Amino acid sequence: MAHHPSAIRQQRRSVRRQAVNKKNKSALRTQIKKVRELIESKDKDNAKKLLPEVFSSIDKTVKKGTIHKNKGSRFKSRLSRQVESVNTPPAK
């Protein structure tokens, strides 16, 4: 438990930042899951349409400092690679 006034303020700030970061990470994970579900269902067109939104969300999360920039780059790289590797079923 913090006793010094500045330590008490820092702890309050830490709790607030933790809540903000948790909200940002949760929203990011939800969007990534949506893209991965589309990839699983082999829906390449919709996954490609959703990709710019997810990339924007990743960039915003990185800019806010919630995740590291290399982690954001890794997410974007893997998602785009996975979307491109989806084989659309041949039209009948």
As for how many domains the chain has, the answer is 1
Helix axes 5-40, 44-63, angle to 10 degrees: 170
Range of the domain at 13: 5-84
Digit-coded pLDDT (tens) for 5-51: 999 999 999 999 999 999 999 999 999 999 999 999 999 999 999 99
User: Is pLDDT above 70 for 89?
Assistant: no
Q: Please indicate, yes or no, if residue 11 is contained in any of the structural domains.
A: yes
CA–CA distance, 18 with 30 (Å, rounded to integer): 18
Q: Please indicate, yes or no, if residue 17 is contained in any of the structural domains.
A: yes
User: Is pLDDT above 90 for 1?
Assistant: no
Alpha-carbon distance values, 54 to 18, 21, 23, 76 (Å): 22, 17, 16, 8
Per-residue tokens: 61: 């999360």
What CATH number is attached to the domain comprising 23?
1.20.58.110
pTM: 0.84
